[in-house]
Amino acid sequence: MLARMNKTTDSRMKSRRSTGVAMLLLLAASLLLSSCQRSAPLPFQLTNISGHMPALDFKLTDDQGKPVSGADYRGKVVLLYFGYTHCPDVCPLTLEQLHVVMQRLGPLADGARILFVSVDPARDTPAVLHAYVNAFDPRAVGLTGDPRVIEALVKRYRSAFTREPASSDGNYEVSHSSAIYVFDRNGNARVLSTPTDSRDDLVHDLHLLLSTGTSS
């Protein structure tokens, strides 16, 4: 008797459970459908910053001397890096590694842009920036502008930079963020790459972003 009752409850629970599973499947299917139209949750390897960092938005001058805004790079996957040209060690190393990453992406890399934003606008004219970024990769763009605009942009990505005291000859260093911020084709912040992260992970995540979504 007791066993029978248990069986009935069990089968009832089973049917309830299967209804639940069906509903979940339906929900998952509708989510998948809607996410195909919007941005799908991509299996990133790097730190996922989707929804945690603001979209790409700025008004600066590019290395051709042309005024540009964040909107001008919609349709491209953007790698944003803050640096300066009088930085002989870490900035060139970062740009060299990004160049290797771009080479590994093959033709897909044409859908990406490296934006090198100067944190030293006093010395980094568009001409200096142009020579500097092009020594590394043809898909790199140097950006400079009003110091206050650059400061606001750096702050927008929860970072900072400090101009260190000048030496006797007037030369000075600038301490700056070492991270690379990656944005999708719609200008949304997606992943963050730091110097300790592997370049393989960056290639992997860029591959995901470049092979999905609308192309330019």
Is position 118 an interface residue for another protein (rule: CB under 8 A)?
A: no
Tell me the closest approach of the beta carbon of residue 85 to another protein, in angstroms: 5
Is position 131 an interface residue for another protein (rule: CB under 8 A)?
A: yes
Residue found under tokens 């990769």: 137
In sequence order, the β-bridge partners of residue 191 are 48, 182
For 198, list phi and psi in degrees, rounded to 5.
-80, 150
Tell me the number of residues near another protein by CB under 8 A.
33
Cα separation, 154 vs 148, whole angstroms: 10
Tell me the closest approach of the beta carbon of residue 142 to another protein, in angstroms: 11
For 62, list phi and psi in degrees, rounded to 5.
-85, 180
Structural element, H or E, at residue 130:
helix 126-134
Question: Which CB, 59 or 104, lies closer to another protein?
Answer: 104
Query: Exposed, middle or buried by CB within 10 Å (0-12, 13-18, 19+), for 189?
Result: buried
Question: Which CB, 61 or 85, lies closer to another protein?
Answer: 85
Cα separation, 205 vs 193, whole angstroms: 10
Whether the Cβ atoms of residue 133 and residue 99 lie closer than 8 Å to each other: no
Tell me the closest approach of the beta carbon of residue 106 to another protein, in angstroms: 17
Is position 39 an interface residue for another protein (rule: CB under 8 A)?
A: no
Among 56, 61, 73, 99, binds another protein (CB under 8 A): 99
Among 47, 178, 188, 212, binds another protein (CB under 8 A): 178
Is position 181 an interface residue for another protein (rule: CB under 8 A)?
A: no
Give the interface with another protein as residue ranges (CB under 8 A). 85-93, 95-96, 99-100, 128, 131-132, 134-137, 159-160, 164, 169, 171, 173, 175-179, 194-195
